[in-house]
Amino acid sequence: MSTPPRRTPAPAGPARPAGVARRVPGTSAPRVPTQRGPRRAAVAGGPSITLLNRRRTVLVVVVALLLTVFSGRLVWLQGVQGQAMAAEALESRLTKATLVASRGQITDAEGEVLATSVDRYDIEANQRLIRTWSAKVDGTTYTGAAGAAQLLAPVLDANVAELGAKLDGDKGFVYVAKNVLPEVWQAVAELRINGITASQVADRVYPNGNLAGNLLGWVNAEGTGATGVEAVLDGELAGTPGSTTYERGRGGQQIPGGYQESTPAVDGRSVQLTINADIQWKAQQAIEQQVAATGADSGSIVALNTKTGEVLAIADSRTVDPNDPGKTQDLWSGSSAVSDVFEPGSTAKVITMAAAIETGLVDPYSQFEVPYQYTTPNNQTFKDSHEHAGLRLTTTGILAESSNTGTVMIGQNIPQQVRYDYLSKFGFGARTGIELPGESPGILHPSDDWDGRSKYAVLFGQSLSVTALQATEVFATIANGGTRIAPHLVAGWTEPDGTYTPAEAPEATQVVSPETAATVLSMMESAVDEGTGSAAAIPGYRVAGKTGTAQSWRADGSQGISASFIGVAPADDPAIAVSVVLHNPRTSEWGGTVAAPVFSEVAGYALTELGVAPSGTQPELFPTTW
């Protein structure tokens, strides 16, 4: 095996002087000397490493600062403000709704419902949510306001275009429909349209239409009693609304398991009135028919329980249907029987006779020669309604024949202040306190203010004014043995749990003695059997009463006439007092002609309805003449 030849190193040339460059082979140019090794590396790399280190330091500091800030913020949010922020977030998701209290019922004395409340719903829309809503129903896609309207219109029985206009917009709340039935809202809810919600409300319903509408009044859109019993007793009937607060999702739906807190509503109390719905119906029908038949401006009928003061009926010829009060010309019209005043006329002679007998001035047998025209000591002349020759009448006869001159002859001997006192004790000039709005106290001027004529005119029902209720109360007082009991409408209250509490009985006031009351009652019976009130007779029952005709004033300020009859039955054991008043009848101005027959009809019906037995005795009447 051969070995490669050894390369013999070239002999060394002469040494180059320092600083002399080596020449590059094949060229005449010398080679430039270069620097090598550590010295060159230090010069080139030193600045780069320093900059890098500085950048790293800055980055670490920045990161450390950010972490410190974030950590501090996290500690602040979770440790210091955590509960407040959580509460604020929860608050933004909470919805508060009112829980409607059920308004108490109004019933008659027999428990028949006259007013009640039923559940209804107000359907509402959030236009902003509906704008982004979309759903597929039976293969068809519905979107936005137009799609929602297409689904809702058939359920709400609404026009699609009009409904779409309601749903289209940028409002968070608009009403879609009000007072819809529960089943209608259920059908709407099943459509699951995001943005459609409902609020429960209570709708007031009066099952008997305008029956006793003048007494019941009505409830306004806010659920508050506007007039009548609904207004006077609103605080008891309305109850106290409750509330519920719950956590909602984006679509307004309640979050299952979320926050919820409720305060229950407290339902209102139910009131039982003293009126009898059947008697009220009969009275209302009768007065409407008689007003139409006589061409009267208006009229009223009042029926009272003589033993308790309970109102059995108050009927007015003009009444409101509480279900639709807007159809009535005067929305605020209540009962004219408690608000309108008129001169009672001859029905007030009953008070004069009671005062004269009670003070011992006369008895039912006292004899008088009664002229057609009579002049008082102060030169005031009074006349009877019909011209006649001198009549030989007893005190009873003067009342039965309704003689103005005879009444003045008796009453002029009653001291002036005593006349006022008896008028006042029988209730004139003061409100009865009945549970109805707008009651008038009537007009009874102080006796010191009476002029020379008025002090005699008050003896036969002029120069003073009363309501139909006040006038009826006088006869109820005589029928109740001279004891006055304020007329009232409330029989009792039923709590939401069903507990019934009778109303407190009104205070009784003895106005005249039982003996005086019995005497006057018998004298009034003669007025029906032998006098001006014969058309008020009721077959099978003894009736005591008095006719009345007096001046009144029309709405336009002109003078008119009020014709009336007020009576008691049965006279042997009084159960009811009934008044019939007609204002400005055109067919006749006499109460015995236009009012007495209506009394017979209504009082006879009431006696049968109440189960009052017919009279079992024949009257022993005082003589009317001598």
Q: Which are the catalytic amino acids? A: 346
CB 316 within 8 A of CB 335: yes
Three-state helix/strand/coil letters over 352-371: HHHHHHHCCCCCCCCEEEEC
Q: What is the DSSP string of 560-609?
A: EEEEEEEEEESTTS--EEEEEEEES-SS---HHHHTHHHHHHHHHHHHHH
Pick from 115, 130, 119: which is nearest to 182 by CA?
119
The CA-CA-CA angle for residues 13, 16, 17, to 5°, reads 150
Q: Which of 123, 118, 131, 194 is nearest to 155 (CA)?
A: 123
The CA-CA-CA angle for residues 225, 581, 316, to 5°, reads 25
Query: CA 531, CA 390: separation in Å to the nearest integer?
Result: 17
Angle separating helix axes 416-425 and 349-358, nearest 10 degrees: 110
Phi, psi of 216 (to 5 degrees): -70, -40
Q: Angle at Cα 614 formed by Cα 282 and Cα 523, nearest 5°?
A: 90
d(CA 215, CA 284): 12
Residue 74 CB contacts under 8 Å (≥ 6 apart), including other chains: none
